[in-house]
Chains A and B, each alone.
Chain A
Amino acid sequence: MQISAVVLQLLVAGIGTGSIYALIALGFNVVFKSTGAMNFAQGEWVVMGGMISAALFASASSVGLACLLAVILVAIFGLLSERLVIWPLRRPTALMITLVSIGLAICTRSFVMLTLGKKPVGYPGFSGEATVSLGGATFQAQTLWVVGLTLAFLVVMHFFFERTMLGKALRAAAADREAAAIVGVKVETTILISFGIAAFAGALAGAIITPLTLASYDQGAMFGFKGFSAAMLGGIGSLPGAVVGGLVLGLLEVFGSFYISSDFKDAIAFAILLLILFVRPSGLLGRPDIVKV
């Protein structure tokens, strides 16, 4: 293969992986914006999306339908989780929500394990096992689906936050809880909605990546950390930041593992991430916090 073909191949793979990280980071950021908490359950929803899709595909005929249903089910699960464990908190501080989300993550993981089993599962891609050739590089058609669906979801999210009443209410509550409450935004409902969106984004990531990587109940933590890293790389709480952070992290991993060492790919990605954080603490697109005294 020519150098350019190799680079293209890596580029596509990196963007594919990066899209998944971007989706997880987006879910992460939505919850962070509305609660100030790090949601450790985010990665578990990714796995749940993949596992439920596989379970539904066994009885349904269409992959797409199975995935769609699974994503909706996980979003409902996310809403229920918020009502069951976040809502009853008497003092919902950011730290408390973070801690509770760890418990939620453990429960979600074991729920998936108990109901859907311990074996890794998979299913064919949306275009079967088709491959695409481009400029000497060959990749699976599912990678294009991953990139395309991520892009579509991001456009919908952008529209939701910029144009709809609910999206604006969410942003208002994230910017200033009290002020939003005064103008009639139900702040508690915005937390509920943000959990729903986060679970949806996570499950979508899981449903579209499973044909490429298989899904297993114990991968959630890894997905969560990668998404968290992408979020902080881009600038925590920033939605465009999630996309940039996800793509940069995905590309770093793929190029790092090809040109330097695949054994150390995580270490390379995290080392560069730390360097970026030291130079630009608020992330690539984040704005530094200015505290007025």
Chain B
Amino acid sequence: MVSASPVSGTHVAPSAARESLRMQPRSRFATWRSSDHVRLVLIWLVLLAVPFAAPNAYVVSLANLALINLILIASLNLLMGFGGQISLGQAGFFGLGAYASGILNVKWGVGAWLGLPAAALIAGAAAFVIGVPTLRLRGHYLSMATLGWNAILVVFFNQFVSLTGGPNGLLGVKPFAFFGIALDTEPRAFPVVWLASLLVMLTILNLLHSRIGRALRAVATNELGADAIGINSFGIKLLCFTLSAAMAGIAGSLYVHVNQYASPDTFGISVSILLIVMVALGGSGTYWGPCLGALIYTAVPQLLLNYEDAELMLFGLGMLVVLIVFPGGLAGVPDALRRRFAPGWSR
């Protein structure tokens, strides 16, 4: 990420060491941080042009979906890539947020702007309750518990017909409104999704560079070691899991108010599993990996639509090839290529 630090680079030729000293900013963390911040804001500013540049509403709807998927994948990456905990229930929290916000709106007339924080709160609270007994232990317990949790949620989405609409889905959800203007088309809803995804990405970036983020990575690397230097591993894992679920809840609320509809199929365990795969394909534990993952997750099914029956096979084969050839995910490809073709010039 940064040029070799003078401390660890003592074996480097003196001129190179001086060079790196001269290049060394006041705090190496500060530059990394600010450059990621600048990049994030620049990319999102460019994205702002999407509704104007897009040829039709369909493309904007894909952009909305991609940004919602990004929130899901980035929040899962926070938990899985940086925290080392695997949740098989991310789609469940997504669905919980969607149904919570949607039902509040349809049954009790609660507006979308209130539904959004409510969805985050409900999904986060549910994660907290699941996390307390399972995160005390190391190992597979979180993945098992979240798998069961997601299965239970899907049953409830399907069977509580009076509340959720059952297999037909939840209909009649009102869109976001801005000073009395209903944001009921995809281009109109885009700014809301754009802003929410930017805020989530900023939160994750700031979190990763905070004391909590460093503690999280320490826990992921060696939990016992982290405990030994005074980190409350359980607390950190619980916070991270709760935050990740709350973000998925936000994604759910956005989804239901933008599409004005939710169906149980969108929130099944298979979706949870695919989200994990997307984290890995993008680059697990890298900040920008989820952007690639979200692009793949949104675009590839659209590209494969023409192949009908072969779609699933092509998707699976592509996934296998990427995983086997680039175990670090697509975000690691430039580095891998550089190491291969210019071994001396590794950063």
The interface of chain A, by Cβ under 8 A from chain B, is 38, 40, 85, 88-91, 95-96, 99-100, 102-107, 109-111, 113-114, 221, 225, 228-229, 232, 236, 263-264, 266-267, 270-271, 273-274, 277-278, 281, 289, 291, 293
| A106 lies within 8 A of B327 (CB) | no
B303 at the interface (CB under 8 A from A): no
Residues from 73 to 124 in B contacting A, C-beta threshold 8 Å: 86
Closest 9 CB pairs of A and B: A106-B316, A110-B312, A107-B316, A267-B155, A110-B313, A103-B320, A103-B319, A270-B148, A278-B133
Minimal Cβ-Cβ distance residue in A for B328: A91
Contact of A99 among B148, B151, B224, B277 (CB under 8 A): B277
Cα-based distance from A103 to B311 in the complex (angstroms): 13
Note all chain B residues with C-beta closer than 8 A to A89. Answer: 324, 327
**A40:B138 contact, CB within 8 angstroms:** no
- By a beta-carbon cutoff of 8 Å, the part of chain B in contact with chain A is 86, 133-134, 137-141, 143-145, 147-149, 151-152, 155-156, 159, 224, 269-270, 273-274, 276-277, 280, 309-313, 315-317, 319-320, 323-324, 327
- Complex: A113 Cα to B312 Cα, angstroms: 10
A274 touching B145 in the complex, CB below 8 Å, given contacts A89-B327, A103-B316:
yes
Closest to B155 in A: A267
A89 to B324, CA, bound (A): 6
A274-B148, A291-B224 given; A106·B312 CB < 8 A: yes
Would A236 and B140 count as touching, CB distance under 8 A?
yes
B323–A291 CB distance below 8 A:
no
Contact A273 B270 (CB under 8 A): no
**Chain B residues closer than 8 Å to A281, beta-carbon distance:** 133-134, 137, 141
Least Cβ–Cβ distance between A36 and chain B, in angstroms: 9
* B138, B148, B159, B316 interface centre (most CB from chain A within 10 Å): B148
Task: Kindly provide the distance from the CB of A72 to the nearest chain B CB, expressed in whole angstroms.
Answer: 24
Q: CA–CA, A109 to B139, complex, Å?
A: 29
Complex alpha-carbon distance, A229 and B317, angstroms: 27
Q: Is the CB of B159 within 8 A of A264?
A: yes
Nearest residue, chain B, Cβ from A217 = B312
Q: What residues of A have a CB within 8 angstroms of the CB of B134 in the complex? A: 277-278, 281
| Chain A residue at minimal CB-CB distance from B133 | A278
Q: Which residue of A lies closest to B137 (CB)?
A: A281
Contacts of A229 in B (CB 8 A): 147-148, 151
- Can you give 6 A-B contacts (C-beta < 8 A)? A89-B327, A99-B323, A100-B324, A103-B277, A113-B312, A229-B147
Q: Which residue of A lies closest to B322 (CB)?
A: A103
Question: Cβ of A277 and Cβ of B148 under 8 Å apart?
Answer: yes
The prevalent SS among residues of A at the interface is helix
> B159 contacts A221, CB within 8 Å?
no
CB contacts (< 8 Å) of A273 on chain B: these are 148
Indicate whether A107 sits within 8 Å of B320 (C-beta atoms), given known contacts A229-B148, A266-B151: yes
User: Residue among A88, A99, A114, A225 with the most chain B CB within 10 A?
Assistant: A99
Known: A228-B147, A289-B139. A106 touches B319 (CB 8 A): yes
- Note all chain B residues with C-beta closer than 8 A to A103: 277, 316-317, 319-320, 323
Contact call B155/A291, Cβ cutoff below 8 A: no
From A229, which residue of chain B is reached at the shortest CB distance? Answer: B148
- Residues of chain A with a CB closer than 8 A to B143's CB: 38
| B309 engages A114 (CB within 8 Å) | yes
- Shortest distance between the CB of B152 and any CB in chain A (Å): 5
Q: List 19 extra interface pairs beyond A110-B316, A293-B224, CB under 8 A.
A: A91-B327, A99-B277, A103-B277, A103-B316, A103-B323, A106-B313, A110-B312, A225-B147, A225-B269, A264-B155, A266-B152, A267-B152, A267-B159, A270-B155, A271-B152, A277-B145, A277-B148, A281-B141, A291-B138
Q: Is the CB of A114 within 8 A of B310?
A: yes
Across-interface contacts of B270 in A (CB, < 8 A): 221
- Is B277 a contact of A102 with CB atoms below 8 Å? yes
A277 to B147, CA, bound (A): 12
Chain B residues lying within 8 Å of A113, measured Cβ to Cβ, are 309, 312
Given A106-B315, A114-B313, CB of A96 within 8 Å of CB of B145: no
Cα distance, A274 to B132, chains bound together (Å): 13
Inter-chain CA distance A267–B153, complex, in Å, is 8
B73 to chain A, nearest CB (A): 14
Alpha-carbon distance A96/B327, docked complex (angstroms): 8
Choose from A38, A88, A111, A270 the contact partner of B324 (Cβ within 8 Å).
A88
Complex contacts, A109 vs chain B, CB 8 Å: 312, 316
Q: Which of A96, A102, A289 contacts B138 (CB under 8 A)?
A: A289
Contact between A111 and B147 (Cβ–Cβ < 8 Å)? no
CA distance A228 to B149 in the complex (A): 14
Q: Are A100 and B323 in contact (CB under 8 A)?
A: yes
* Bound CA–CA A232/B143 (angstroms): 11
Q: Are A270 and B151 in contact (CB under 8 A)?
A: yes
A103 to B155, CA, bound (A): 26
- Please name the residue on chain A nearest to B136 by beta carbon: A281
B280 close to A99 (CB less than 8 A)? yes
Name the residue on A nearest B225 (C-beta): A293
Provide the bound-state CA to CA distance between A107 and B310, in Å: 10
Q: How far is the CA of A85 from the CA of B140 in the complex (A)?
A: 23
Minimum CB–CB distance from A237 to chain B (whole Å) comes to: 10
Is there an interface contact between B319 and A102, defined as CB atoms closer than 8 Å? yes
Given contacts A85-B320, A107-B317, contact A267 B151 (CB under 8 A): yes
In the assembled complex, how far is the CB of residue B333 from the closest CB belonging to chain A, in whole angstroms? 15
> Is B144 within 8 A of A232, CB to CB?
yes
Question: Do A40 and B273 form a contact, CB below 8 Å, given A96-B323, A99-B323, A104-B320?
Answer: yes
B224 to chain A minimum Cβ distance, whole angstroms, is 6
Chain B hits for A225, CB < 8 A? 147, 151, 269
**A100 partner, pick from B149, B224, B269, B320, beta carbons under 8 A:** B320
Q: Name A92's closest neighbour in chain B (CB-CB).
A: B327
Q: Which chain A residues border B310 with CB–CB below 8 Å?
A: 110, 114
Q: Across the interface, do B152 and A111 meet the contact criterion of CB distance under 8 Å?
A: no
